[in-house]
Each structure stands twice: as C-alpha cells, then as structure tokens.
Amino acid sequence: MARFADGTHIQPDILIGADGIDSSVRDVIAAGIEPQALESIVYRAVTTVDLPEAYRSQGVEIWGNGTYTGGAPIDADRFYWFATAPGPAPADSTGPVDTIAALRNRYADYPEPIPTVVGSLDADEVFVTGLRDIPSLETWSCGSVVIAGDAAHGMLPFAGQGAAQAIEDALALVHALDMQDGPTTAFEEFETKRKPRADRIRSESHRLGMLGLVQSSVGIRARNLAVKLLPGTIFRWFRRRRAAQTSLPEPTTPTEPADIST
C-alpha cells in the first residue's frame, strides 16, 4: 500500500518510484541511502544572446580553477549555460543582482562564448542548486516495488546523461513489463539490462566532476597537461560510447494488417 502526504492511499499491482534523487520509494528498497553532496554548486540558465558566429552551432566546455562551465545553443539566439563553483549556495542576503555581478566578474576572462553568454544573463534566468549523486545500490526492486531515474541512479551532471538515462529506464521498464509474465521477472530483466550501464555512467560523471572541480594549482596543471596530451579522438570516443551503448530494447517490426477485403 502506498500512502501519500495528503492522507490518501492506493494499493496498486506495482509501484514505480520515479520520484527523484530524494526518493521516498527508495527507502522501501534501500533504506538509509542518502544523496552524497559535493562542496560545490551549479548555476544554470537559458538566455537570449547574440552568439559569436563560431558558437551558433556547437557546444563548449571549459575547465577552470574549481569551476567547470559551458553550454550549447538551443536556437538561433538562445543558449543553455551552466557553471559550477566551489562552496555553498549564495546566502539569502545575496540578491540576484549581486549574484549576476559576481558571475560576470568571475567569467570575464574566460574564452568565448562564456563572457558573452554570462553578460547577457538576467537575474530571473539564473537558478542555482547543489551538486549531489547517490551511491550505487545493490538492487532497484523489492517485490512489487521498483525505482527508476534519479531515484535509482541520481548522478552528477558532468556526463550530460541524467535525463537520458531516465528515458532509457522508462523504455526498458515498459518493455520488460510487456514481455514478462509478472513484475518480479520484469523487474529482474529491467535491472539486468539497465543497472550496469547506468552505474557506469554515474561513476564516470563523478570522476569527471572531480576533474572539473580541482582547485589546487598543482592539480590543475596536471589535469590540463593530461588533457592536452590526449588526442581529441579519445574524448570523442567516450562521448560516442555514452550515446551508442544504450540498453534499449530492440525495435519490433509492425505486423502487417490482415487483408479483410471482399
């Protein structure tokens, strides 16, 4: 039986917990598991901006001193921007105008298009959250209860795969429920297909975060040297692998309708 905060309750055949990184349903499967927080925050915004020509059709990522910033165009004059920063979220006493001024000052000397994008930000476009993920779980289901998405594998944003992995979960779970006789075997198939890939990407995103958030001068120099020495094909291979090695069900060929003409 599932009970809700307003006092109502239901008794469904199955319960799918897709209730985010702070999942309540997860406690049924893995009691006591809490999100792990980094000592950093992330700013995000979608802004209208006149981009330099070179960045109107491609994204950008820049690693700095304790910060990782970048984004991608999502329209002719709109850009999705993000940036991490060490420390807690701004205090309530820090107003939106102060936050924008601090961001513009911090990223003024960064390569384009970051200064242009940050210079275009309005206070009501920017929101800030902490950076959290959850440790790998032993299992994603218990009886007729299963979790998916961030409830099962909440990850840091550095691999750019959080939403994509939740979508893969949804498709794989529906397919397993459709193909198997009962929820237990369906959930086992779902977990077998999805858990290794989701856990691998969660770990990869965590490692990328550790690299992007380095603050020591020695660590920054070592990281930047290593990146310079690695061929660009290596980075492209990692990105292609994330996208190509999905655990999605194979598409089925539609059945031809029967000819009932007379």
Enzyme catalytic residues = 44
The full DSSP string for 7-67 is: S-EE--S-EEE---TT-STHHHHSTT--PEEEEEEEEEEEEE----GGGSS--EEEE-SS-
How do beta strands 78-86 and 68-75 pair? antiparallel
Let me know: does 159 contact 242? Beta carbons within 8 Å.
Answer: yes
Binning the chain into helix, strand and coil, the percentages to the nearest 5 are 40, 20, 40
Around Cβ 98, how many Cβ atoms within 10 Å? Answer: 12
Let me know: does 132 contact 37? Beta carbons within 8 Å.
Answer: yes
| Number of helical H runs and strand E runs in the chain | 8, 10
